[in-house]
Structure 1
Amino acid sequence: MKIWEPVFPNFFKKDEYVKTFKLPNFIYKEPIVFNTNKGEIVCLILSFAIGLRWIFYKDFITHNVLAVSFCFQAISLVILSNFLIGFLLLSGLFVYDIFWVFGNDVMVTVAKSFEAPVKLLFPVSSDPVHYSMLGLGDIIIPGILMSLCLRFDYYLFKNNIHKGNLKKMFNDISIHESFKKYYFYTIIIFYELGLVVTYCMLFYFEHPQPALLYLVPACILAILACSICKREFKLMIKYQEITDKSNTVDDASKNKKKDKEEIPKIQETPVSNAKKRITNK
């Protein structure tokens, strides 16, 4: 739902449908407010239909739809504060993935026997029964670093507008705002090349390959190469998505002032009015 909300804002209007009901006091004293909109209802119906189809049929298309949804959700929830943490995370999983694929066949065995949508399935044309697999970890982990690159591109764009005086970091980026995405496009291209190399090695050796063996060097090399070519290596290393204490205090005081100013507005929303009517009854 979070994916479609910025794309179709008219379908996700706040307080579009508000329904209030009250339970017996011994169960719950406060009035319960059901607040939704067209977009949430459509997403709920589609999610329910896709889930039912996967339970009864378990076809690879529905399986992949659920798996990709998990990827989007995971990438949107996990935020890296800087590139060094991202490099350390990928490097650790790089060693982990190699050991459990080459050193032991546990990961391959579990991936083949586990039916939950925690991997992408690609049918093999010559064998309709067997599938090629790509674990979600091979998508989510590099994807988290890709999202950091996109935020860094946005930071550079805003920093250029403010002539280098920008201190604020941005976790939310408007999809309708146009800016140059050098780091984001570079890491995507290198990631795709890493996937191509992975499948080439898979067909050549005829043995399961740890995708992170090729994806981790590709992603790290992409960021380093782009930062060196743009002469922004030091800026990239120093980039931090946590503001300093002074900025935090200033932001906190501003937020308190905003909250005080917005109290009358909040009391006039449909949800609050519905609660008042129930309470008065």
Structure 2
Amino acid sequence: MEKENVEREREKEKDSFIGNTSAENESNMQTIDTCQAAFLPIGASVSLLIMFFFFDSLQMVFAICTAVLATVAFAFLLLPMCQYIIKPCSTGQKISFGVCGRFTAAEILSFCLSFFIVCIWVLTGHWLLMDALGMGLCVAFIALVRLPSLKVSTLLLVGLLIYDVFWVFFSSYIFSANVMVKVATRPAENPVGMFAKKLHLTGLVRDAPKLSLPGKLVFPSMQNSSHFSMLGLGDIVMPGLLLCFVLRYDAYKKSQTISVDTGVPPPPTYVQRLTYFHCSLVGYFLGLLTATVSSEVFKAAQPALLYLVPFTLLPLLTMAYLKGDLRRMWHEPFLAHTTPKDVDV
């Protein structure tokens, strides 16, 4: 009896720990509301213009801020791997660093590895390291930001679609240059080289290359190995937020369909087997493929969201309408609707 009581207490402690952890993760999430979704393209346009007009005078600030953000984001990406490696030889206790806070051994290791990779990227400027840091930024943003409803998702993606099309296709008529391409392809001065010039260290100046900031993923073109194709991080993050939303909704809907009496979900029909996540994922792949082919065919920069948004959003809206979930998904579907305790008879 004593052993059973001890086991029950351990299970309760484990459940409470899991509940506290999930509640802490929920509190760390940043939910985009309707106002933020409407003004995000405007804020992105202002940031783009600042980088276009003042890049030469602020390139050192851009390079340092990008390196700091990339270090933190890539450490977040490496954290699960470091936790798995250190788990056998670590007690999980946090180490105090004074005003900086308390961190576990896995967090310290992931930060050191990330800092080392960023230093190598600063010294070499290699595009593979830049892509790795860019992927870290994407993963961190998608993990910490979420969309609450299909209405906010549609407003955000349509607004960014207009933003992307305007700055790629029509900005040259106003600013005599393609603002999006100019900002994306302009390299920044290497901070190591800038400091070396002030200290008159000519060897470091010669070896420190200019940095292409990790606001995009680059990969060699299929037709010309010396030419690189680009994919903006926003073209990954914003559809990725939509995929996370529909994945959450699929799990929520599955939990709602489980029978209360038996606890066993009913056998799914053919239509129910096709989830919203699979539909959106296939649409994202087809949109990305279409954008890549269009860039190679027209030999010009293409706004990727012009293809990604219709290929992901339109099939999702159609599927939600056919399944009868459009109204529920359009408004915040994860809010718990409480029923009144006192019911008038």
Same fold (TM over 0.5): yes
The separation in 2 between residues aligned to 1:158 and 1:84, in whole angstroms, is: 23
AA aligned opposite 1:192: F
Instruction: Name which of structure 1's ranges 60-69 and 232-241 shifts more when overlaid on structure 2.
Output: 232-241
| 3-state SS in 2 of match to 1:17 | coil
Residue equivalent to 1:40: 107
Deviation at 1:86, TM superposition (A): 0.4
Asked if 1 retains the 8 angstrom alpha-carbon contact of 2:216 and 2:231, the reply is yes
| Matching of residues 61-210 of structure 1 within 5 Å | 61-104=128-171, 105-114=178-187, 115-124=212-221, 126-161=223-258, 182-210=275-303
Can you list the C-alpha shifts for 1:126-169, whole angstroms capped at 9, x where unaligned? Answer: 54443100000111111111110111011111111255xxxxxx
Deviation at 1:93, TM superposition (A): 0.9
Asked if 2 retains the 8 angstrom alpha-carbon contact of 1:98 and 1:210, the reply is yes
| 3-state SS in 2 of match to 1:236 | helix
Gaps of 5+ in 2: 1-74, 172-177, 188-211, 261-272, 340-345
Which residue of the other structure, out of 92, 98, 108, is the alignment partner of 1:16?
A: 92
Change in CA separation of 1:21 and 1:191 when aligned onto 2, cut-off 3 Å: closer
Residue equivalent to 1:53: 120
Deviation at 1:15, TM superposition (A): 6.2
Asked if 2 retains the 8 angstrom alpha-carbon contact of 1:182 and 1:226, the reply is no
| 3-state SS in 1 of match to 2:147 | coil
Aligned length: 221
The separation in 2 between residues aligned to 1:40 and 1:181, in whole angstroms, is: 38
Deviation at 1:21, TM superposition (A): 8.0
Instruction: Name which of structure 1's ranges 124-133 and 152-161 shifts more when overlaid on structure 2.
Output: 124-133
The separation in 2 between residues aligned to 1:206 and 1:73, in whole angstroms, is: 32
The separation in 2 between residues aligned to 1:33 and 1:210, in whole angstroms, is: 42
Instruction: Name which of structure 1's ranges 100-109 and 218-227 shifts more when overlaid on structure 2.
Output: 218-227
Asked if 2 retains the 8 angstrom alpha-carbon contact of 1:121 and 1:131, the reply is yes
| 3-state SS in 2 of match to 1:89 | helix
Change in CA separation of 1:126 and 1:190 when aligned onto 2, cut-off 3 Å: closer
| Matching of residues 230-245 of structure 1 within 5 Å | 230-243=323-336
Which residue of the other structure, out of 319, 326, 329, is the alignment partner of 1:226?
A: 319
Gaps of 5+ in 1: 23-27, 164-179, 248-281
The separation in 2 between residues aligned to 1:159 and 1:207, in whole angstroms, is: 48
AA aligned opposite 2:248: R
AA aligned opposite 2:325: E
The separation in 1 between residues aligned to 2:81 and 2:96, in whole angstroms, is: 29
The separation in 2 between residues aligned to 1:215 and 1:226, in whole angstroms, is: 17
The separation in 2 between residues aligned to 1:158 and 1:46, in whole angstroms, is: 39
The separation in 2 between residues aligned to 1:133 and 1:233, in whole angstroms, is: 35
| 3-state SS in 2 of match to 1:117 | coil
The separation in 2 between residues aligned to 1:133 and 1:20, in whole angstroms, is: 42
Change in CA separation of 1:162 and 1:5 when aligned onto 2, cut-off 3 Å: farther
Give the share of equivalent positions with the same residue, in percent. Answer: 34
The separation in 2 between residues aligned to 1:89 and 1:70, in whole angstroms, is: 19
Deviation at 1:239, TM superposition (A): 4.1
Deviation at 1:35, TM superposition (A): 3.8
Asked if 2 retains the 8 angstrom alpha-carbon contact of 1:120 and 1:133, the reply is yes
The separation in 1 between residues aligned to 2:215 and 2:274, in whole angstroms, is: 30
Asked if 1 retains the 8 angstrom alpha-carbon contact of 2:76 and 2:110, the reply is no
Deviation at 1:67, TM superposition (A): 0.2
- TM-score normalised per structure 2: 0.57
The separation in 1 between residues aligned to 2:249 and 2:76, in whole angstroms, is: 21
Asked if 1 retains the 8 angstrom alpha-carbon contact of 2:82 and 2:107, the reply is no
| 3-state SS in 1 of match to 2:227 | strand
Change in CA separation of 1:6 and 1:61 when aligned onto 2, cut-off 3 Å: closer
